[in-house]
Amino acid sequence: MNIPLKTLEPAPLVDPFGRAITYIRVSVTDRCDFRCVYCMSEDMNFLPKQDLLTLEELDRLCSAFVARGTRKIRITGGEPLVRRGIMTLFRSLSRHLESGALEEVTVTTNGSQLAKHAKELADCGVKRINVSLDTLDEDKFKAITRWGDLGKVLAGIDAAQEAGLTIKINAVALKGVNEDEVPRLVEWAHGRGMDMTFIEVMPLGDIEAARVDQYWPLTQLKASLLERFTMEDIDYQTGGPARYVRVKETGGRLGFITPMTHNFCEGCNRVRVTCTGTLYMCLGQEDAADLRAPLRASPTDELLNDVIERAIARKPKGHDFVIDRTTKQPAIGRHMSVTGG
């Protein structure tokens, strides 16, 4: 009997805990035009450029994941929009949006280059972006980012909204730094029609400051917001780790990402790829797989798929971050700017 030949769809990626991997976060550079105090040390050593995946390799890698069921790609860094020629990658990934294979391409950015790129991002099918902004106070902004210019970021946010992009503002909760500003940030973001999310500092990479001096648990941040606002639980999910409420007074959505006080791993659907093609199955664990070698070893994707499959089969159940006075070493040696936030 003749069995008709049919192209078999590759099986989607499912980890040992039954979690389907449908989301990849891709760091396209470890470089940045800021030096945020919780993210980088002031004199960071960056990777030699030749170690980075080319834009074509990044596209091939993303496309291999799309072929295995990835529905959402977040481009991050370092600062993704400082990578030379980065719009080429957005342009080429847009074919997967047009074909319906991908639901979403999103970006996490510090906003410094948005005025230049917002319109083209929207043209490439990007609909939502995250902008990281921890304060609206110019001096504090300088103190936190060391090299950043608040005016440029605000102009970038204006340009992104004009281009029709939906923005979520992400702010890291920093003890003694933006504590007093939290209600103002919420009112400002919601007043401009933007969702807002607070994030707990994570112990990633060596920085000058002690983590414990930066760490402000969101339980405390939330308690302080409750003195001012009424929060209503809502059933809103973005597939990410944030838990959302609606602030009654502003009508806006407010998210909390609490890796330290509440472990968010059980619903994890994502993996991360660095700009050198290292696949991390968990933000908070060291285990990784090199995807650059199989990418470069063969023009077809069999080898690459094989390495990806074996890596997903090792995805751990969760992270085990700790911040306390006795833990002097970062829980994870690599900086957030390497793994991609």
Residue where the block lists tokens 């919601």 = 190
**Is 341 near ligand SAM (CB under 6 A)?**
yes
Q: Which one of the spans 179-187, 230-238, 266-274, 333-341 is the region binding ligand SAM (CB under 6 A)?
A: 333-341
- The whole-angstrom separation of Cα 114 and Cα 105 is 16
**Is 337 near ligand SAM (CB under 6 A)?**
yes
CB of 241 to ligand SAM, least distance (A): 12
Sole binder of ligand SAM in the list 58, 62, 204, 279 (CB under 6 A): 204
Judged by beta carbon distances under 5 to 8 A according to partner kind, the member of ligand SAM, ligand SF4, none in contact with residue 199 is ligand SAM
| 96: its two tokens | 């997967």
Q: What is the 8-class DSSP label of residue 291?
A: -
Judged by beta carbon distances under 5 to 8 A according to partner kind, the member of ligand SAM, ligand SF4, none in contact with residue 156 is none
CB of 170 to ligand SAM, least distance (A): 4
Judged by beta carbon distances under 5 to 8 A according to partner kind, the member of ligand SF4, ligand SAM, none in contact with residue 201 is ligand SAM
**Is 135 near ligand SAM (CB under 6 A)?**
no
Subset of 159-218 contacting ligand SF4 (CB under 6 A): none
Q: Give the pairing of strands 104-109 and 72-76.
A: parallel
CB of 336 to ligand SAM, least distance (A): 3
**Is 332 near ligand SF4 (CB under 6 A)?**
no
Binding mask of the shown chain, residues 90 to 119, with x at each position contacting ligand SAM by CB under 6 A: ------------------xxx---------
- Bridge-partner residues for 171, per DSSP? 198
Judged by beta carbon distances under 5 to 8 A according to partner kind, the member of ligand SF4, ligand SAM, none in contact with residue 35 is ligand SF4
Terminal CA-CA length for the chain:
54
Helix (H) or strand (E) segment spanning residue 19: none
How many angstroms separate the Cα of 91 from the Cα of each of 120, 126, 337? 9, 10, 23
- The whole-angstrom separation of Cα 83 and Cα 231 is 39
Torsion of Cα atoms, 20 then 91 then 78 then 131, to 10°: -80
Binding mask of the shown chain, residues 127 to 146, with x at each position contacting ligand SF4 by CB under 6 A: -----x--------------
- The whole-angstrom separation of Cα 151 and Cα 166 is 20
- The 3-state DSSP class for residue 173 equals strand
Cα dihedral sign for 207, 210, 213, 215? positive
CB of 102 to ligand SAM, least distance (A): 20
102: CB partners within 8 A, 6+ apart: 66, 70, 71, 72, 73, 93, 96
CB of 299 to ligand SF4, least distance (A): 33
| 51: its two tokens | 């170690």
Q: Give the pairing of strands 243-247 and 253-257.
A: antiparallel
| 185: its two tokens | 């940030």
Subset of 15-54 contacting ligand SAM (CB under 6 A): 32, 38-39
Amino acid at 179: E
Subset of 31-90 contacting ligand SF4 (CB under 6 A): 32, 34-36, 39-40, 77-79
Subset of 53-82 contacting ligand SAM (CB under 6 A): 76-77, 79
State which residue has the least CB distance to ligand SAM: 341
CB of 334 to ligand SAM, least distance (A): 11
In contact, 138 and 127? CB cutoff 8 Å: no
Give residues in contact with ligand SF4 (CB under 6 A).
32, 34-36, 39-40, 77-79, 110, 132, 337
Give residues in contact with ligand SAM (CB under 6 A).
32, 38-39, 76-77, 79, 108-110, 132, 170, 172, 199, 201-202, 204, 336-337, 341
